[in-house]
Chain A
Amino acid sequence: MAEYTPGQKVAIARHAGRPGTADYISALFTGFFAQKGDRQCREDPAILGGVALYKGRPVTVLGHRKGKDLQENMTYNFGMPGPEGYRKAQRLMRQAEKFRRPVITFVDTPGAYPGLEAEARGQGEAIASTLAMMSGLDVPVVTIVIGEGGSGGALALAVANRVLMLEHAVYSVLSPEGFASILWKDSGKADQAAEVMKLTAQDLVALGAADEVIPEPPGGAHENPQAVFVAVDRALSRALDRVVREGDFAQKRYEKFRGMGSLYTGRDKS
């Protein structure tokens, strides 16, 4: 299998032909009923979500939606949700808990939208309250990072019992461009940033921030979407079974995120 540099993986993860949330929903689920709107202000098409059947059982499924061309991307805001998107996600997840169905999320966003209106309507609060709400959900939650997972806007849909990542997906504290811009005042150094950021699926598993890598066909998911759907289906079904078997969903999820990052307590000799 070809080895890719982190910079190349970022390019694959963002490839226009890469399957997105809508593709996974139509390939893996039946009877999808899309639910729109945050019931406060508007519908945010950058997050697609609703109820569907997975292997014959109802689930709540949602994820960031990117477009395949410029026209679609304008409609979906390049997969960058505003606060309304996160508030819709909260509404859907609360319903999942009410009706006792698992939550499955697909992560594929450069980040939450950094815009004037998004700030005016509380982008920070929307993400924060989604994190808090999702952490306490008393149903199984499985997340699959299918493309790029950028910053808090990605994490807000990823407080899951199991976090799976496609082989060439990336997930990071900020986009490599933003990272380079903050640290080196030069967004052109994105490739260099990708090298040091440890943002590949393999890095994340090593750091304990993701649980499992789902293999992709040679060249990446866009080369053979059917093969990817089969691999994701298999991994998702296994992850869901495992979470259901373990039970105690909220507590297990709490412990998982509680343990993120190792520490010196000042008592160890180091």
Chain B
Amino acid sequence: MIDSFRQRRERMIQLKARREGKESDVPRKHIGKAVFGKCPDCGAMVPKTELARTLYVCPKCGYHHPVGAYLRLSMLLDSKSFRELDEKLSAPNALKFPGYDDKLQAARKSTGLTEGVVTARGKLDGRMAVFAVMDSRFLMGSMGVAVGEKVTRAVEYADRAKLPLIIFTASGGARMQEGILSLMQMAKTSAALARFSRNGGLYISVFTHPTTGGVTASFASLGDVTLAEPGALIGFAGPRVIEQTIGQTLPEGFQRSEYLEEHGFVDQIVPRGQMRETLSLLLQLHEKRGGEEHG
């Protein structure tokens, strides 16, 4: 009975991940029978089957294509260990913002997601953890009330269950259509993480491309350990706004993962192919050993 539930859940995540792989943002091109993905960075044409094998990293230049939340989870979790949290949670159009309801519906339809973040419990290399994975395809991964609430609930779940928390960020920042309530999610998520931290919880934050605005200025920057995928755009203000403000062109590589590492805001840059083993090591290094203390 329990097994069949697990199998069904497993089939669901596999199905959703496969769909995301098929419909990922990688620009497609059909040549003969094969489908090729074009790398926006170096222009290389790579068969989609190979991209799936390289975890959507360009084999020529190492460009990391953005990936959907379920696809990301399927790259990380042990099979049959996935359990989604608060799957149906959403928020009303509190400001009655014109056109917002339609925009949400369209995003739901095109992505198959309810909101811009998927939260789950699952095992990574045999160790249980709580995950929140943002999806930039859903209204730029912007944070409104629902995203803030799902992240906060994931933090609280990890706190209660005494589990490590791993968050993959990808967001344009606060969701404009929910106005001041979006802004308040920055305080809500940060307050929950402060509490989790005081209670001894481990939080690993992973920046992926792009992470800017209110998400950078709240939960994304509060990790005990902070990782980033190579080449990700990470910042508070977007590059366009900065250029307009200071009236000059920004240097090459500004606000990229490597720049943040150099300036002391990222522990390590981890390529996607090594993410799982890196997280596994971090979980092992922080494992609480029942009552045993260093003498």
Contacts and interface: CB of A to CB of B under 8 A. Distances in A.
A116 B259 CA distance: 12
Given A114-B242, A258-B192, A199 B92 contact: no
B107 interface: no
A172 B97 CA distance: 14
Contacts of A123: 217, 235-237
A174 to B, nearest CB: 7
Contact of A114 (B180, B193, B237): B237
A155 B222 CA distance: 16
B250 interface: yes
Given A127-B217, A128-B222, A261-B184, A120 B90 contact: no
A135 B265 CA distance: 22
Contacts, number: 195
B216 A198 contact: no
A196 B95 contact: yes
Contacts of B237: 112, 114-115, 118-119, 123
A164 to B, nearest CB: 15
A197 interface: yes
How many chain A residues sit at the interface, stated as a range, is: 35 or more
A155 B187 contact: yes
Contacts of A24: none
Interface residues of B, number: 65
A173 interface: yes
B176 A260 contact: no
Contacts of A204: 180
Contact of A129 (B87, B91, B221, B246): B221
B24 interface: no
Contacts of B152: 258
B214 A152 contact: yes
B89 A265 contact: yes
Given A123-B237, A136-B198, A261-B148, A128 B181 contact: no
B254 A260 contact: no
A1 interface: no
Contacts of B98: 196
Contacts of B88: 264-267
Interface stretch (A88-96, A177-185, A215-223): A177-185
B95 A128 contact: no
Nearest to A160: B187
A179 B176 contact: yes
B294 interface: no
A207 B214 contact: no
A4 interface: no
Contact of B245 (A115, A124, A264): A115
Contacts of B135: none
A129 B221 CA distance: 8
Contacts of A131: 186-187, 190-191, 217-218
A52 interface: no
A106 interface: no
Contacts of A119: 235-237, 242, 254-255
A190 interface: no
A97 B220 CA distance: 26
Q: Which of B114, B152, B197, B217 has the most CB of A within 10 A?
A: B217
A266 B236 contact: no
Contacts of A267: 88
Contacts of A265: 86, 88-89
Contacts of A16: none
B187 A135 contact: yes
A53 interface: no
A183 B139 CA distance: 12
Contact of A254 (B89, B145, B149, B191): B191
B265 A258 contact: no
A234 interface: no
Contacts of B218: 127-128, 131, 152
A209 B181 contact: yes
Contacts of A115: 237, 242, 245-246
A118 to B, nearest CB: 7
A240 to B, nearest CB: 20
13 contacts: A123-B217, A123-B235, A127-B217, A127-B218, A129-B221, A136-B198, A151-B183, A152-B183, A183-B176, A207-B179, A257-B184, A266-B87, A266-B114
Interface of A: 112-116, 118-125, 127-129, 131-133, 135-136, 151-152, 155-156, 159, 171-174, 178-179, 182-183, 196-199, 203-204, 207, 209, 253-254, 257-258, 260-267
Given A123-B217, A204-B180, A257-B191, 9 more contacts: A119-B242, A152-B186, A173-B176, A173-B214, A199-B180, A260-B185, A262-B145, A264-B90, A266-B114
Interface of B: 86-92, 94-95, 97-98, 114, 144-146, 148-149, 152, 174, 176-188, 190-195, 197-198, 213-214, 216-222, 234-238, 241-242, 245-246, 250, 254-255, 259, 263-265
